[in-house]
Amino acid sequence: MFYMPAALLLCDQETIIRTVTRVFKDLGVEVEVFDDHQVAARKLAARKFDAIVADDEVSGATMLLEAARGLPTCGKSVRIILAGGPTAVGTAFQSGTQIVLYKPLSLERVRHGLRAVRNLMAQERRGGFKRVRVDFGAKVSYGKFANKPVAVEDLSDSGAAIRSENPLPASARLSFECMLPDSSELLKAKAEIVWQDTLGGVGIRFLDVPAQSRKRLVEWLASESNLESIPELDSAVTRTAAKAGV
């Protein structure tokens, strides 16, 4: 019997509902939408959802995510909050949120962010290269900070999952540069932060990649994709879930 993953979305803004619902449906995930956290909580108690997404502007959003952890039906659900700023992020992580997607939301930002929970997806039907697991250093610059070291954990033609020992700002734009393995050319890109997890993992989406860097990246990904691609269960979510004890 074919199993279709399911997500619950707590949100009362039509534009956000349309965006998140469209991306989930494109990825083969059934979505149920609620605008009242009490009604949503009753639904969570009645059935299993693989993902629970809550808009931080809806009353009771963090309460819903926290309550979900104690429900037999949703103890292993991935908990995601749509956050508007750093204050909401801190509150969200305290309530047991595993993934934060930053506003303003667009189709591309949501598509990229939901890669962090791709274990929920029956099949990812997007173009481009699959992400390749890597382990090398890079540098990011943002605001007054330049050349901050980070570790790159996976890489695609549209972005990367990185890890930083020092907190990075919420939903910031930054400059990213690294030296690809077996390459003497520096890869440079302008990027934005689209998600963060509880263990220092950060998802960035490339906004502007110079032609030479993009050519080198595509060639490198093509060669690496023949050797190893990232598994269906995303490593960031696996580590986060283990940390949360689910």
Same domain, 95 and 197: no
Residue 164 has pLDDT above 50, yes or no: yes
- The residue from 90, 105, 125 where one domain ends is 125
Residue 238 has pLDDT above 80, yes or no: no
Q: Is 95 contained in some domain?
A: yes
Residue 115, pLDDT score? 63
Name every residue whose Cβ is closer than 8 Å to that of residue 2 and which is 6 or more positions away in sequence: none
Residue 237, pLDDT score? 43
Query: How confident is the prediction for the chain on average, in pLDDT?
Result: 80
Higher-pLDDT residue of 27 and 188 is 188
pLDDT class of 194 with cuts at 50, 70, 90: confident
Residue 21 has pLDDT above 60, yes or no: yes
Residue 91, pLDDT score? 59
Domain range spanning residue 142? Answer: 132-231
Q: Is 183 contained in some domain?
A: yes
What is the rounded distance in angstroms from the CA atom of residue 222 to the CA atom of residue 230? Answer: 14
Asked if 135 contacts 152 with a C-beta cutoff of 8 angstroms, the reply is yes
Higher-pLDDT residue of 111 and 141 is 141
Q: What are the beta bridge partners of residue 140?
A: 148, 176
Residue 227, pLDDT score? 54
What is the rounded distance in angstroms from the CA atom of residue 246 to the CA atom of residue 241? Answer: 5
Higher-pLDDT residue of 162 and 107 is 162
Same domain, 51 and 157: no
Within 13 Å of residue 154, how many CA atoms lie on the same side as its CB?
24
- The residue from 125, 156, 178 where one domain ends is 125
Q: Which amino acid is at 233?
A: L
Pairing outcome for strands 201-208 and 132-142: unpaired
Q: Which residue has the tokens 């997890």?
A: 197
Residue 99's domain is classified under what CATH number?
3.40.50.2300
Q: Kindly report the CA angle at 56 between 51 and 9, in degrees rounded to 5?
A: 30
Looking at the structure of the chain, the number of domains it has is 2
Residue 234, pLDDT score? 44
- Of all residues in the chain, the percent with pLDDT exceeding 90 is 34
Same domain, 105 and 137: no
Is residue 115 helix, strand or coil?
helix
pLDDT class of 1 with cuts at 50, 70, 90: very low
Is residue 57 helix, strand or coil?
coil
Least-confidence region, from 22-36, 70-84, 139-153, 204-218: 70-84
Name every residue whose Cβ is closer than 8 Å to that of residue 61 and which is 6 or more positions away in sequence: 10, 37, 54, 55, 81
- The residue from 95, 125, 155 where one domain ends is 125
What would the two tokens of residue 157 be? Answer: 């033609």
Q: Which amino acid is at 111?
A: R
Residue 178's domain is classified under what CATH number?
2.40.10.220
45-97 pLDDT, tens per residue? 999 898 999 999 999 998 998 888 888 888 778 889 898 866 555 555 666 67
Same domain, 74 and 153: no
Q: Is 241 contained in some domain?
A: no
Tell me what the mean pLDDT of segment 167-184 comes to: 88
pLDDT class of 191 with cuts at 50, 70, 90: very high
DSSP-derived secondary structure for 17-52: HHHHHHHHHHTT-EEEEES-HHHHHHHHHHS--SEE
Residue 125, pLDDT score? 32
Q: Is 21 contained in some domain?
A: yes
Torsion sign across C-alpha atoms 207, 111, 193, 83? positive
